[in-house]
Structure 1
Amino acid sequence: MSEGPALTAGEQTMAINGGNVVYEILGETGDLIALTPGGRFSKDIPGLRPLAEALVEGGYRVLLWDRPNCGKSDVQFYGQSESHMRAETLYKLVTALGEGPCIILGGSGGARDSMLTTMLYPEIVRKLVVWNIVGGVYGSFVLGGHYVTPSILAVRGLGIEGLLSVPEWRERIEQNPANRQRLLDLDADEFLKVMLRWLNAFVPKPGQTIPGVPDEMFDNITVPTLIIRGGENDWDHPKRTSLEVHCLIKGSTLIDPPWPEDAWERAGEKFAQSGGKTFCLFDTWVQAAPAILDFLGK
């Protein structure tokens, strides 16, 4: 059996639904904030920790965690969508730590994970803050094509061993060698069924403002909620989606982004021009700390 990940100081693991989840808690005192980044990025992605540290300075403790399929955590494939799996994982993590109810924060894919956690497990959430909310035809299709389709093509062409050729899963193996065998142990037919279900979540549908989540589920969000609006011309996190979510969450607060309206586009250009070597998509997130702390203090 391959060894698991090499943990750094402060990191811990917890077994949840048959897979190990790596997490750490910053700060010594104060209410707990569960902070979730976007995509399949780890808790160590550039730009996330500065926001966490600013929140710690504001008097809170911050839970950073590698969701399943992210960073050093084990790969896992189950649930109605990947966000449903993440929501269940966060619920079980917070509950096992004895920390609920807590404050839930997330940006981009982490915003969807955070909203879904609040919808499904409202008993563990005290307040909710979200930004860079994905929506619209373009944003949804990009995610499905980026996070799901490559694995489907690999397994259809090469069997389950084909997953070892997908760059994203190679990265998960590099960070956690145990993931190699976890991938090889998957049943190809069952894996493809899950992938098709996850892909379907990203197909835009009437009555689903955010991917894979029926609008009526927003009625379950009754805690104080802060929404940071998407940028004016951000195709991935449309301004329109933020406004619609604001309408769907009764009593929510909507504010303009504390970063430039074109921050996401400029960061994307820099990332592309560097050949993917300069990651700066979340560098501006720390600028939201004052607004978040102000909201949490009310």
Structure 2
Amino acid sequence: MQVAEVEVNGGIVVHEFVGPEDGEVVVLTPGGRFSKDYPGVRELAEAIAEGGKRVLLWDRPNCGASDIQVYGRSESHMRAHTLGLLLEELGIEKVVKLGGSGGARDSVIFALMYPEKVSRLGLWNIVGGNFSTMSLAGVYILNELRTVRSKGIEGVIELGGPAGGWCDLVAANPRNADRLRAIGAEEFERVMDRWLDAFIPKPNEAIPGVPDWEFGEISVPTLIIRPGRDDHDHPVKTAFQVHTLIKGSRIIEPPWPEDAWEQGGRDREAGTGGIFQAWKLAGPTFIDFIDGKEAGVATTLPWNA
């Protein structure tokens, strides 16, 4: 498939389509600061495309080869805003929005910011709870703040990270070094301070940066895949909280093994796979969901029986 670039809000967004040109458009968003080419993402897109869907893969700002963007209420809000503008540039009026891990949070926020553009919403590996949320503060924000305060913006340009670092973004797209310099240390620190607030656990936020009451604004058909029982990065409790907050949503058993996330982590460390490698198994489930069929098996939490 041909990779294309579109300028959105003063920055280039790299994207491509998988599947037939006349297919219903599905936007697939992974987590971390990982690109559309991270193992497991394209495989899921291809599985969905087999059902006649046209899947939009995109490098979100601060991911892959797209230009860095540093603004907004949170990083997820910035990405949702960027996606809305990208769809307008591409002339796409409505999409099915699918997202896993950090992409689930991005997808929820997109549905809240652009409700008129979303026909269906699919979520899995949703981050929430104290451990998971505070871990993300370390992954995305705290090292950035320490670095910019001690080494300035040049230190940020050289900074790595477990979910994709700023140095990786510069290597993938050399323009990003100058974009960071243009933002400057003072503005970068100011935005990181604001973005940090999303990852401070709050009793009225099932997921980082989204007050519970906002979920009541989501009215489209929503499918949630339950995470594995021992997945501490994406707690089962969070999936059920989101299920109770989105009226009419459906929560189902995962179409992958119970320990898929943990196994993906082990394979990533061994250099033999990645954390998203099992996602392709959800292809048939999402095809049914998009087609308006009952998708998957309703979850029963058998270990509590």
TM bucket normalised to smaller: over 0.9
Q: Which residue number in structure 2 is paired with residue 179 of structure 1?
A: 176
Q: Which residue number in structure 2 is paired with residue 151 of structure 1?
A: 144
TM-score, length-normalised on structure 1? 0.94
Identity %: 53
**Structure 2 counterpart of 1:162, from 155, 159, 163:** 155
Q: Say if 2:221 is the partner of 1:228.
A: no
Cα deviation for residue 269 of structure 1 reads 2.4
Give the AA of the match of 1:269: R
Q: Residues of 2 paired with 1:283 and 1:72: CA distance?
A: 21
5+ long unaligned stretches in structure 2: 293-305
Deviations 1:66-97 (A, max 9, x none): 00000000011000100000110111111221
Cα deviation for residue 278 of structure 1 reads 4.2
**Structure 2 counterpart of 1:200, from 197, 202, 212:** 197
Give the AA of the match of 1:195: M
Q: Residues 132-147 of structure 1: matches in 2 within 5 Å?
A: 132-147=125-140
Q: Which residue number in structure 1 is paired with residue 241 of structure 2?
A: 244
Q: Say if 2:12 is the partner of 1:12.
A: no
3-state SS of paired residue (2:209): coil
Q: Is the 8 A contact 1:31 1:61 kept in 2?
A: yes
Give the AA of the match of 1:62: V
Q: Which residue number in structure 2 is paired with residue 216 of structure 1?
A: 213
Deviations 1:154-185 (A, max 9, x none): 11111111112202111111110111111122
Q: Residues of 1 paired with 2:224 and 2:110: CA distance?
A: 16
Comparing 249-258 and 263-272, the one that deviates more: 263-272
Give the AA of the match of 2:9: N
Q: Which residue number in structure 2 is paired with residue 290 of structure 1?
A: 284
Alignment length (residue pairs): 287
Q: Is the 8 A contact 1:154 1:165 kept in 2?
A: no
TM-score, length-normalised on structure 2? 0.92
Q: Residues of 2 paired with 1:188 and 1:173: CA distance?
A: 16
Q: Residues 27-106 of structure 1: matches in 2 within 5 Å?
A: 27=19, 28-106=21-99
Q: Please provide the CA RMSD for this pair.
A: 1.1
Cα deviation for residue 270 of structure 1 reads 2.8
5+ long unaligned stretches in structure 1: 1-8
Q: Is the 8 A contact 1:26 1:62 kept in 2?
A: yes
